[in-house]
């Protein structure tokens, strides 16, 4: 093992890349390290896979350059450990011609690329510089995400619209308390995400967050899932089993679609809230539990209470604090921010380098009604990231345009470039302001966000151009 440092000639503001070279051929490893001195690298050499694995466990590296075929611990294990210890680390494989298929397999497992022996040192330096750029992009995305979370989010809840500002402000007040919370919102608005955010920002954050969808289970199974059961309590109960309340003890239990809970289970849940005790199915022995309860529903519980399908006393016990999540169509100005958030998330997940949406695609997404809310937007962005073959998401990456309820050819901007040739700047500006107002259905706040100008400027322009 040895270290090669580059200090001379390196600008003070540039930190050298930390590179681990793992190769059981020491002269070859030394040649690789010396070559990387030219591209601002600080290299550590490991002359076996065992030594390389130990170094990965002990230190952080920006890039790991490893031989594929080694005794005891091979390049696959080095790759696995590197990604486990520090996922953003870029791994480059060195292999003989006879192992290229294995190298390709390793790339599918997260390696950046592979190089064949004998190494072209100039190509090596180029690949390392490429890895450096990829690493910088990943870290800049992570930093941007951190800043966005600080500015616009509440530990994962993303939005900058007035509606989301109010929601996040409420979450900041609710989270540190032990109050029972009822979250209301349409399907796909992110009710579980909000519940998780409340938990993560409470004094219970180091305890379990346990979720259960009440709509997906029959009465008997739901009670067993909630409260657990004893051995022999019912057919198939071959052993004692804890329920979700016990698993969530000390933490938070999230009950999704609580409005679909059967009436007998509602009665038992009310009893648990009042007594802070559960009884497993088939047992008469009470078990003390300390659980914060957060519920969610897309149904109108007041209407359910009026119709007799939901207990009034349970309803009031669940809604000590109520949070209403607005549908995405009512906070369109959050769509660009959400798109950027999901692009970063799925670019990292699928090992893609997506820069952004093109302007036409952004307008299309802004104009859709989103019946599936944020979940639908998230799924569409992921599909586009997977399909994309360049770095910009556009209409060619949209799997099913009909899903959005908007036809690409119907967007007024589709023929804009040619139609506006020869027009004055005032006419062009007037056109795009009118288009933005049309896309946002007259919402000036959203239109100003879409145009990238202040609301006061937009108001002045509307008056100037007499736009109705």
307 and 343 in one domain? no
Residue 398 domain boundaries: 332-465
271 and 255 in one domain? yes
Given a cut of 90, whether residue 42 has pLDDT beyond it is: no
**156 within a domain of the structure (yes/no):** no
257 and 340 in one domain? no
Query: Which of 7-16, 65-74, 371-380, 443-452 reaches the highest mean pLDDT?
Result: 371-380
**pTM score:** 0.59
For residue 4, the model assigns a pLDDT of: 45
343 and 302 in one domain? no
For residue 406, the model assigns a pLDDT of: 56
The neighbour count for residue 383, using CB atoms within 10 Å, is 16
137 and 7 in one domain? yes
For residue 147, the model assigns a pLDDT of: 58
What's the mean pLDDT when you consider all of the chain?
83
**239 within a domain of the structure (yes/no):** yes
461 and 341 in one domain? yes
List the CATH number of the domain containing 125.
3.40.50.2300
364 and 278 in one domain? no
52 and 105 in one domain? yes
362 and 283 in one domain? no
394 and 258 in one domain? no
**353 within a domain of the structure (yes/no):** yes
For residue 146, the model assigns a pLDDT of: 59
Q: Which residue, 91, 111, 143, sits at the end of a domain?
A: 143
Is-contact 4 33, C-beta < 8 A? yes
Could you tell me how many residues make up the chain?
468
Confidence of residue 100 (pLDDT cuts 50, 70, 90): low
Higher pLDDT, 59 or 441: 59
Q: Which residue, 265, 291, 326, sits at the end of a domain?
A: 326
**427 within a domain of the structure (yes/no):** yes
User: Where does residue 257 fall: left (phi above 0), alpha (psi -120 to 50 degrees), or beta otherwise?
Assistant: left
Dihedral of the alpha carbons of 113, 117, 123, 125, in degrees to the nearest 10: 80
309 and 193 in one domain? yes
For residue 3, the model assigns a pLDDT of: 53
**310 within a domain of the structure (yes/no):** yes
Q: What is the DSSP string of 178-227?
A: ---EEEE--TTS-HHHHHHHHHHTSTTTTS-EEEEEGGGS-HHHHHHHHH
Confidence of residue 37 (pLDDT cuts 50, 70, 90): confident
User: What is the tally of structural domains in the chain?
Assistant: 3
**319 within a domain of the structure (yes/no):** yes
List the CATH number of the domain containing 398.
1.10.8.60
Q: Which residue, 326, 353, 375, sits at the end of a domain?
A: 326
**451 within a domain of the structure (yes/no):** yes
Confidence of residue 291 (pLDDT cuts 50, 70, 90): very high
Given a cut of 50, whether residue 200 has pLDDT beyond it is: yes
List the CATH number of the domain containing 295.
3.40.50.300
Is-contact 390 357, C-beta < 8 A? no
322 and 198 in one domain? yes
Read off the pLDDT of residues 398-442 as tens digits, 9 standing for 90 and up.
887 777 765 555 444 433 444 455 566 677 678 778 877 877 778
Read off the pLDDT of residues 385-399 as tens digits, 9 standing for 90 and up.
999 988 889 888 888
Query: Can you tell me the distance from the alpha carbon of 3 to that of 404, in angstroms, rounded to the nearest whole number?
Result: 56
Element (H, E) at 379: helix 373-387
**151 within a domain of the structure (yes/no):** no
Read off the pLDDT of residues 137-187 as tens digits, 9 standing for 90 and up.
777 666 665 555 554 457 668 887 888 888 988 999 999 999 999 999 999
Instruction: List the beta bridge partners of residue 184.
Output: 297, 324
């Amino acid at each position: 093992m040895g270290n090669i440092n580059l200090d001379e000639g390196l600008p003070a503001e540039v930190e050298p890349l930390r590179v681990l070279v793992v190769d059981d051929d020491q002269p070859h490893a030394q040649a690789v390290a010396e070559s990387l001195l030219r591209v601002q690298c600080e290299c550590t050499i490991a002359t076996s896979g065992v030594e390389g694995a130990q170094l990965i466990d002990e230190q952080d590296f920006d890039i790991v350059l490893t031989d594929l075929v080694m005794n005891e611990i091979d390049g696959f294990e080095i790759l696995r450990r590197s990604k486990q210890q520090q996922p953003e680390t870029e791994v480059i494989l060195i292999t003989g011609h006879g192992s290229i298929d294995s190298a390709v397999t390793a790339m599918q497992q997260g390696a950046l690329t592979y190089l064949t022996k004998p190494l072209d040192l100039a190509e090596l330096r180029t690949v390392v510089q490429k890895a450096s750029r990829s690493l910088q992009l990943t870290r800049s995305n992570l930093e941007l995400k951190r800043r966005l979370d600080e500015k616009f989010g509440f530990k994962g809840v993303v939005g900058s619209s007035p509606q989301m500002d109010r929601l996040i402000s409420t979450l900041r007040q609710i989270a540190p308390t032990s109050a029972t919370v009822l979250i209301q919102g349409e399907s796909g608005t992110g009710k579980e995400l909000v519940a998780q955010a409340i938990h993560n920002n409470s004094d219970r954050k180091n305890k379990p967050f346990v979720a259960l969808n009440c709509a997906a289970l029959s009465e008997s199974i739901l009670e067993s899932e909630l409260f657990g059961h004893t051995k022999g309590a019912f057919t198939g109960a071959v052993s004692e089993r804890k329920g979700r309340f016990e698993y969530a003890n000390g933490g938070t239990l999230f009950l999704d679609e609580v409005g679909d809970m059967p009436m007998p289970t509602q009665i038992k849940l009310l009893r648990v809230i009042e007594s802070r005790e559960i009884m497993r199915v088939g047992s008469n022995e009470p078990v003390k539990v300390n659980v914060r309860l957060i519920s969610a529903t897309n149904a109108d519980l007041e209407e359910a209470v009026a119709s007799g399908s939901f207990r009034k006393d349970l309803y009031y016990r669940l809604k000590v604090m109520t949070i209403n999540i607005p549908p995405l169509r009512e906070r369109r100005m959050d769509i660009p921010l959400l798109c950027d958030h999901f692009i970063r998330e799925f670019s990292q997940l699928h090992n893609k380098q997506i820069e952004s949406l093109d302007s036409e695609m952004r307008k299309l997404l802004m104009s859709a009604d989103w019946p599936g809310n944020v979940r639908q937007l998230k799924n569409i962005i992921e599909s586009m990231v997977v399909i994309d073959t360049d770095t910009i998401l556009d209409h060619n990456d949209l799997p099913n345009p009909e899903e959005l309820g908007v036809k690409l050819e119907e967007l007024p901007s589709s023929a804009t470039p040619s139609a506006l040739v020869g027009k004055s700047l005032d006419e062009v500006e007037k056109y795009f302001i009118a288009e933005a107002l049309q896309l946002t259905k007259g919402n000036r706040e959203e239109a100003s966000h879409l145009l990238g100008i202040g609301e006061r400027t937009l108001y002045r322009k509307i008056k100037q151009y007499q736009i109705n």
